[in-house]
Amino acid sequence: MSLQGKLEVLTRDRSFDDRKVLNGADLIKTANQFGLTYDQIAELCSVSKTTVSNWGKQDHKQLPKRAQVEKLLNRIGHGRFKCELEPLSDAAIEYRRGLSTIVACTFFLMILGVVWYVVWKPCSDNWEECSALPWYERPLFTSYKAKQNIEDFRQYMKQKEQVGAE
């Protein structure tokens, strides 16, 4: 699948799923050209073989929904067939292309920022000490440093008790 095909899948408005595929006959023909039988298409789409046969007729009024043919499109490749969907009603609001991708990327970057601040920033602030640790212990540098500080404090308190006892 091409990059453009992958982006179209990621940015596709999910309201498309209940709309009818106007070129269902072409979809069935394309699937046949990729070696899929009516039985295999019916199994992928979770419908009967008769329904697939009706979809394959040019003048038939029964059309598949986008959600029904999703697995079929995955099988033949989204970039290899462009579904012509029935138009949305005039009152429907269609989201701008790519809006969901922008929101997802922003969310991912925010999570990445939190992980960096909690895990890697303490190590980058004390690189001399942190670089001595093995790579798999570096994200836990703060907890190792806290344990070391507690141990140092305990030793200090023992020394103070010993000096006070003498």
Stated pTM of the model: 0.49
Q: Give pLDDT, residue 127.
A: 77
Q: Give pLDDT, residue 125.
A: 75
Instruction: Extract the tokens encoding 25.
Output: 């006959």
Q: Give pLDDT, residue 6.
A: 67
Q: Cα separation of 12 and 119, whole Å?
A: 35
Q: Cβ of 95: how many Cβ atoms within 10 Å?
A: 12
| pLDDT per residue as tens digits for the range 9-36 | 666 666 667 888 888 889 889 999 999 9
| pLDDT per residue as tens digits for the range 35-51 | 999 999 999 999 998 98
Provide φ and ψ at 135, rounded to 5°.
-55, -35
Q: Give pLDDT, residue 166.
A: 67
Give the percent of the chain with pLDDT over 70. 84
CA atoms within 13 A on the CB side of 117: 6
Instruction: Extract the tokens encoding 145.
Output: 């440093």
Q: Give pLDDT, residue 39.
A: 92
| pLDDT per residue as tens digits for the range 85-133 | 888 777 776 666 667 778 888 999 999 988 877 767 777 777 787 778 7
Judge whether 113 and 98 are in contact, CB under 8 Å. Answer: no
Q: Give pLDDT, residue 111.
A: 93
Instruction: Tell me if residue 147 falls in helix, strand or coil.
Output: helix
Q: Cα separation of 156 and 165, whole Å?
A: 14
10 Å CB burial of residue 125 (0-12, 13-18, 19+) is exposed
